[in-house]
A = this chain, B = another copy of it.
């Protein structure tokens, strides 16, 4: 009899897992239960959907899944997993669907975390004008509501908060961002680089770091917010719309209900095969946690690029194949905000004991060639001289960070890294690429310790 693989959740992780399961065992029955009404789409594209830059965020249509021989159930909520009989019980339009499984893949994603701020709720519901951005429906609601809006406050200066601020700016709105920590993009880059990014974007969006939102005012809908600086100073800002961009919380209800082991970061724990603590039950994407490659510490899987790679492994293994995750995730990450490309890989500097840093500010082309762009690159090495993280701001930073990712993956010593021959031609790059120079500065400083 054909193997049955059931996947809970049809986001990027669920959809990818289905695809790789089917690729691995062509005869398997692969079923996806997705509670939302859309087939696999790009969550990372939602800010661009709001700005209008992207019209369609669907990555794989219902037709695509049909042709791939994958049963995709939309608007179908999983109610129960019966581990003993290996049955998933779901519900669509009030009707119950039962599906036996040989392997189960949990890809239930994450929900936005709602911070404990006075005035977010209107009774039991989130107040009119307050939004999070997580799903395509969220994006559509924001887009609709925007028409009547002038002043927007975004709570949180992380990736989503900043990407949204750009979208709103392009639509002609006045945007403020309130960040409780001392710098923007606090989970993505070190404070010194964050300061640099801040200087480049501060004319387009007002950002208040070291500020917390005390209260959202307005009876039936948002009217203003009250913020408090670290020094105790209070301000009130007009706001027709408030965006909560304060992170996510893994959605683990189903996994917990069957007893999957949960981790320190409250995500589902998976092993190198992306299997949970329960045999034949796999998990992938934002509902899970995994090890950081460098520190070995548990980290939430919050990046699409990681979730997809995990899903590939889960899908292959669920279908009887044999695939392994790397020993940890590098967390290679990038974004572009107001034309500033920002990229990083590996832990923040403060998470590395006795780290040594080399920072270089230069141009992407030789000085004599016109058109070179500014780039800043930081290389971080640990106390054995291994490259453990890197951050960059400027055009081409993401592709340079990929080379650092490769170096970190190979536990490359900075002594070796500086020998790397980078491609050189006057219209393309200088003789020594800025990443090599930044590493060489780290090497020099390490040598003098």
**A interface residues, Cβ below 8 angstroms from B:** 12, 42, 44-45, 48, 53-59, 303-306, 308-309, 325-326, 329-336, 341, 343, 345, 366, 368-370, 396, 398-403, 405-407, 409-410, 412, 416-417, 419-429, 431-433, 435
Q: Are A421 and B45 in contact (CB under 8 A)?
A: no
Contact flag A428-B53 (CB < 8 Å), given A42-B366, A334-B423, A368-B59: no
Question: Other than the known A402-B433, A406-B417, what 6 A-B pairs have Cβ atoms closer than 8 Å?
Answer: A44-B425, A54-B426, A57-B368, A336-B427, A399-B403, A405-B422
Contact flag A329-B421 (CB < 8 Å), given A334-B428, A335-B428, A428-B336: yes
List of B residues within 8 angstroms of A53 by Cβ: 369-370
Q: Are B12 and A431 in contact (CB under 8 A)?
A: yes
Contact flag A45-B426 (CB < 8 Å), given A305-B421, A329-B421, A369-B54: yes
Q: Are A306 and B57 in contact (CB under 8 A)?
A: no
List of B residues within 8 angstroms of A58 by Cβ: 368
List of B residues within 8 angstroms of A12 by Cβ: 431
The complex places the Cα of A48 from the Cα of B369 at a distance, in Å, of 9
Q: Are B424 and A334 in contact (CB under 8 A)?
A: yes
Q: Are B402 and A412 in contact (CB under 8 A)?
A: no
Contact flag A422-B54 (CB < 8 Å), given A399-B400, A403-B399, A410-B410: no
The complex places the Cα of A343 from the Cα of B330 at a distance, in Å, of 26
Contact flag A308-B369 (CB < 8 Å), given A334-B425, A406-B406, A421-B332: no
Q: Are A309 and B45 in contact (CB under 8 A)?
A: no
Name, among A333, A403, A424, the residue most crowded by chain B CB atoms within 10 Å (CB to CB). A424
List of B residues within 8 angstroms of A325 by Cβ: 419
Q: Are A420 and B409 in contact (CB under 8 A)?
A: yes
Q: Which residue of B lies closest to A326 (CB)?
A: B419
Name, among A331, A368, A406, the residue most crowded by chain B CB atoms within 10 Å (CB to CB). A406
List of B residues within 8 angstroms of A422 by Cβ: 305, 332, 402, 405
Q: Are B398 and A400 in contact (CB under 8 A)?
A: no
Q: Are A405 and B431 in contact (CB under 8 A)?
A: no
Q: Which of B54, B368, B433, B435 contacts A56 (CB 8 A)?
A: B368
List of B residues within 8 angstroms of A42 by Cβ: 366, 368, 426
Contact flag A336-B425 (CB < 8 Å), given A53-B370, A59-B368: yes
The complex places the Cα of A298 from the Cα of B396 at a distance, in Å, of 33
**Interchain residue pairs with CB less than 8 A apart (28):** A42-B426, A48-B369, A48-B426, A54-B368, A54-B370, A57-B368, A303-B424, A304-B431, A305-B432, A326-B419, A329-B421, A332-B421, A333-B424, A334-B424, A334-B429, A335-B428, A398-B425, A399-B403, A400-B402, A402-B422, A402-B435, A403-B406, A405-B421, A406-B417, A406-B420, A407-B410, A409-B416, A410-B410
List of B residues within 8 angstroms of A57 by Cβ: 368
The complex places the Cα of A341 from the Cα of B427 at a distance, in Å, of 9
List of B residues within 8 angstroms of A409 by Cβ: 412, 416, 419-420
List of B residues within 8 angstroms of A410 by Cβ: 406-407, 410, 412
The complex places the Cα of A369 from the Cα of B420 at a distance, in Å, of 33
List of B residues within 8 angstroms of A54 by Cβ: 368-370, 426
Q: Which residue of B lies closest to A433 (CB)?
A: B402
Q: Which of B333, B419, B431 contacts A308 (CB 8 A)?
A: B431
The complex places the Cα of A334 from the Cα of B54 at a distance, in Å, of 33
The complex places the Cα of A12 from the Cα of B366 at a distance, in Å, of 13
List of B residues within 8 angstroms of A399 by Cβ: 396, 399-400, 402-403, 423, 429
Closest Cβ–Cβ distance, residue A104 to chain B (whole Å): 24
Closest Cβ–Cβ distance, residue A59 to chain B (whole Å): 7
Closest Cβ–Cβ distance, residue A159 to chain B (whole Å): 8
Contact flag A432-B308 (CB < 8 Å), given A54-B368, A345-B423, A410-B406: yes
List of B residues within 8 angstroms of A425 by Cβ: 44, 333-336, 398
Q: Which residue of B lies closest to A416 (CB)?
A: B409
